[in-house]
Amino acid sequence: MDHAKTGSHRRLLLGAAAAILAAPAVRAQTRTRASLRLDWALSGYQVPFYWGVDKGYYAAEGIDLEVRDGSGSSRAVSLVQAKEDTFGMADAVVLANAVARGVKTKSIFVVVQNGGSAIISWAERPMRAPQDMVGRSIGAAADQKTTLDLFLNANNIRPDQVTQRIVSVAARNTVFYQGQVDGIVSSVIGSPMDMVVAAREGRGRPIHIMPFADFGVQSLSQTLLAHEDTLSAQPDLVRGFLRASLRAIEECRLEANFDPMTDVAMRMSRAPATRRESVKLQWMETLPRLRTAANEGRPLGWTSEADWVNCVDLLVRTGGLTQTVPASSIYTNDFLPA
């Protein structure tokens, strides 16, 4: 027996086996690392992004995506502006305001097309119409002050007719629960669904929801954004991110996936188990808001210039901006799949 040849053959086989085993690791190393900074802690409209990571849709696009909890729209915009996060999620009005003030980020995909802000009050003493707010107190996070001012303005209510208490996001619901304010500003598809589920399960009191859209204020809501430098230097990364996101959203629209996708998001975000049903309900309430008449026949996430002009107009009307800015400086549809 030729031991030299046998040893050489064995080394070749071992080398080939090692190369095969190492191949996935090599491929993984070639992925582009990216992050998505959410606007808040887990809400139903964020679930598809966790689903996309879990199912490997971003990995299939060559992206190693990390989904990170958020603490407000302004914070998400700031982190993308500073390039500490690749992508972000923020309220469209907050983004429009930031861009008008010189921030170099743009909307690339609007998740929630039909804005869902509302006044939340207790059902035993509800605010059913804007005039019911007069003489009462409203809690809001700093990010929500512009929208609240707009709502009051649109319904001919002077700011001094309503006691406004600006608090941190963490404290907003607490001051409401403790009776320190009569109502709060929140997204219909956000924490109010936690309250609805708690009431159903006997863990809380029933609430009343007064949507802004029913009283003259309707705008784009949660949008995905990226830095202008990312759009120009890494267009393939942006396109791949949106392809994977669309794939995940489309799958999450299927009723058969409501439970498994909620479980994935709960596990990956480490949200408290008590929030499971409300997160699922939040997504179900998001579904009819993925589209409006303005983007029928277009890909999900596509937005019209008129919708962005409306966001800017809302800011100008409430004094958030002293002059208008071109809508084209705030958004782009160029990276959406055809």
Q: Picking from 33-47, 67-81, 103-117, 313-327, which range would have the lowest pLDDT averaged per residue?
A: 313-327
Length of the chain: 338
Task: Return the number of other C-beta atoms located less than 10 Å from residue 287's C-beta.
Answer: 16
Domain hosting 182: range is: 117-215
What is the model's pLDDT at position 2? 53
Distance CA 78, CA 105 (A): 9
In a domain, 338, yes or no: no
What is the pTM assigned to this prediction? Answer: 0.85
227 and 317 co-located in one domain: yes
292 and 166 co-located in one domain: no
The pLDDT of residue 6 is above 50: no
109 and 255 co-located in one domain: yes
241 and 306 co-located in one domain: yes
- How much is the average pLDDT of 10-17? 44
What is the model's pLDDT at position 13? 42
- How much is the average pLDDT of 297-305? 94
Task: Return the number of other C-beta atoms located less than 10 Å from residue 131's C-beta.
Answer: 13
Distance CA 135, CA 154 (A): 18
What is the model's pLDDT at position 303? 95
Instruction: Tell me if 108 sits within 8 A of 136, measured CB to CB.
Output: no
Task: Return the number of other C-beta atoms located less than 10 Å from residue 163's C-beta.
Answer: 14
In a domain, 335, yes or no: no
Q: In what order do the strands lie in the sheet with 137-141?
A: 163-167, 137-141, 183-187, 117-122, 207-211
Give the percent of the chain with pLDDT over 70.
91
Residue at which a domain ends, from 215, 234, 250: 215
The pLDDT of residue 236 is above 50: yes
* Interval 129-160: pLDDT, tens: 999 999 999 999 887 887 898 899 889 999 99
Q: In what order do the strands lie in the sheet with 63-68?
A: 63-68, 32-37, 87-91, 222-227, 105-110
In a domain, 61, yes or no: yes
* Interval 260-285: pLDDT, tens: 999 999 999 999 999 999 999 999 99
182 and 319 co-located in one domain: no
Residue at which a domain ends, from 215, 240, 257: 215
45 and 168 co-located in one domain: no
Distance CA 92, CA 187 (A): 13
Q: Which of 115-124, 202-211, 320-329 has the highest mean pLDDT?
A: 202-211
- How much is the average pLDDT of 16-35? 58
124 and 273 co-located in one domain: no
Residue with tokens 């799949």: 337
Instruction: Please report, for residues 151, 261, 277, the alpha-carbon distance to residue 274 in angstroms, rounded to integers and kept in the order given.
Output: 32, 16, 7
CATH assignment at residue 136: 3.40.190.10
318 and 272 co-located in one domain: yes
- How much is the average pLDDT of 230-254? 98
What is the model's pLDDT at position 322? 80
Q: Picking from 64-68, 131-135, 306-310, which range would have the lowest pLDDT averaged per residue?
A: 306-310
In a domain, 6, yes or no: no
In a domain, 15, yes or no: no
What is the model's pLDDT at position 24? 42
- 92-121 burial, b if ≥16 CB within 10 A, otherwise e? bbbbbbbbbeebebbbbbbbbbbbbbbbbb
Measured between its terminal Cα atoms, the distance across the chain in Å is 64
Give the percent of the chain with pLDDT over 90.
74
What is the model's pLDDT at position 29? 57
206 and 248 co-located in one domain: no
Could you tell me which of 98, 66, 33, 100 has the C-alpha nearest to residue 237?
Answer: 33
* Interval 26-64: pLDDT, tens: 344 589 999 999 998 899 999 999 999 999 999 999 999
154 and 93 co-located in one domain: no
In a domain, 207, yes or no: yes
- How much is the average pLDDT of 202-221? 92
User: What is the number of domains present in the chain?
Assistant: 2
83 and 130 co-located in one domain: no
Residue at which a domain ends, from 159, 191, 215: 215
Q: Which two tokens stand for residue 240?
A: 């791949």
What is the model's pLDDT at position 232? 98
101 and 125 co-located in one domain: no
In a domain, 82, yes or no: yes
In a domain, 193, yes or no: yes
Mean pLDDT, the chain, rounded, equals 90
